[in-house]
Structure 1
């Protein structure tokens, strides 16, 4: 297909959209709603995964020792931790360091209250290893294994946090699949009807083109361009809206929820749109292409 033919097909595709304004707008609106829903769900899922990764980095498994355990016993436990392939890093906290940290957190406004414990460390048996794993999903198995190690008194880990993030992501994904399928189906149906109207309007013109030797691809190209263009327009609109709203929403959360908002990690716009833009445009163009093909197979006999 040469440049002149391509320009003609492109022009006719836009003419078809303009000619069928009502159906075109309905198709664009439906696709926009579909892509917007996909974009919102995708953004939430990305942030849930991002939070889960941050939890992996920030929340560790804490291992406490039996009372009176010797330094050699503590070192042996450290060697066991180091040899585990699931471990990313670990650090040792002595009883003295645990008490100093406790005082900073709970007695920072009333340091005089801590003076009553100056002769005796109330956290004398709180020395521990804090272990950070490569995957948060390994916490339970790692904790179970460490509980069997000689000299280990207790193992604490954030299993509820992991389960909440994992289950929330799964629930969101399952609940959204049905809605997305319905909207995709409606989008394809509307685009196929829009293209069908264009075929009906140009039926006489198509017959003439076929009589003078027009190829099947030449006849079909404007309708494919029409469907794909509608799909792309329907996907660009929600992508722009999500892009404008995302930063403002994050700022609002940070402002309104204070410390809680600052403690929740959010994925950056770049991380989200690096995948969301090609995904959204691809789905929009795909819906348009499928709708065009469905309509041409049913109504365009060339």
Structure 2
């Protein structure tokens, strides 16, 4: 009878520890994924902003030396990331590929102009900066027109601010939820030991002495759950980088390592704090209250 009871207690204990480790792993993994999103949000924003092109249309009488001089001066500017010369013939070919028609046969001439596509560094992709750039370029005699999608730039900047705000809010809320979920799992594990805690207290053990084994056990479970979560985050990062190379999650190993270390530390800190207050609660309860 006693052996079967011991087996039953051992199974309950293993089940309790498993649920604690599982909840810590899942919550910290999701928190780590959110951290990856926050960490790479700036990179994603930079990538999309730098895809916006400013087209500088050149007049018919422009000389090659003037085109080369303009491109060199643009490349030397901190404002510009990259430039690309597009001849009128190339522009016509691109239009043909997009429309699938020999439109020049209908109109009898090539309506396009030689142009330079300018890709701007992400920090300068604002309406004010682009307008200043446009004004300065239009001062050159051989420049006919400077074009860019104002609505797209305005919409992108507005959405970037909105997404950044909600990512911050979601990070704070999710961190709080993570702490509450881990805390609940640990409190349930400690709850199953409430009579042992009170018995130890009644025979004269100090609160610190009683708390110590519970805290160390929870920290070990926290480390185990954190390590599994970190392994999951690393596997996910490798999967994303292999399938979407543009994401470049592992391009900055220091930031990624700091994220994994942060997840590990968070698992230890949350389990330590949760166990401390959970054991403290049962230490302060009267014996009669343990049954409720």
What is the TM-score of this pair, normalised by structure 2? Answer: 0.66
Q: 2:129 aligns with which of 142, 145, 148?
A: 142
Q: Does 1:32 align with 2:25?
A: yes
Between 1 and 2, higher relative CO (CA 8 Å, sep ≥ 6) is seen in 1
Distance in 2 between residues matched to 1:102 and 1:277, nearest whole Å:
51
* In 2, Cα distance between equivalents of 1:136 and 1:98: 30
Cα distance in structure 2, aligned partners of 1:76 and 1:141 = 25
Q: Residues 298 and 21 (structure 1 numbering): CA distance in 2 closer, same or farther, change over 3 Å?
A: same
Aligned residues: 264
Q: Distance in 1 between matches of 2:44 and 2:128?
A: 21
**Which 5+ residue runs of structure 2 have no aligned equivalent?**
1-9, 285-292
Instruction: State the SS of the aligned residue for 2:248.
Output: coil
Matches within 5 A, 1:223-234: 223-234=214-225
CA distance in 2, matches of 1:145, 1:227: 59
Q: What is the TM-score of this pair, normalised by structure 1?
A: 0.64
Could you tell me which of 260, 264, 272 is aligned with 1:289?
272
In structure 2, relative to structure 1, the CA distance for the partners of 1:242 and 1:67 (3 Å cut) is same
Matches within 5 A, 1:238-253: 238-248=229-239
- CA deviation after TM superposition for structure 1 residue 129, in Å: 5.0
Q: What is the RMSD of the two structures over their aligned residues, measured on CA atoms?
A: 4.4
2:17 touches 2:189 (CA, 8 Å); kept in 1?
yes
- CA 1:78–1:265 in structure 2 vs 1: closer, same or farther (change >3 Å)? closer
Query: Structure 1, unaligned stretches of length 5 or more?
Result: 1-16, 255-261
Q: What does 1:86-105 correspond to in 2, within 5 Å?
A: 87-91=79-83, 93=85, 97-100=87-90, 102-103=92-93
Task: State the distance in 2 between where 1:199 and 1:31 align.
Answer: 22
Counterpart contact for 2:223–2:268, Cα < 8 Å:
yes
CA positional deviation for 1:222: 1.7
Q: Could you give the per-residue CA deviations for residues 126-178 of structure 1, whole angstroms, max 9, x where no partner exists?
A: 42351422x34643221121233335633315524555455445434434543
> Partners of 2:61 and 2:172 in 1: how far apart?
54
CA 1:106 to 1:168, structure 2 compared with 1: closer, same or farther past 3 Å?
farther
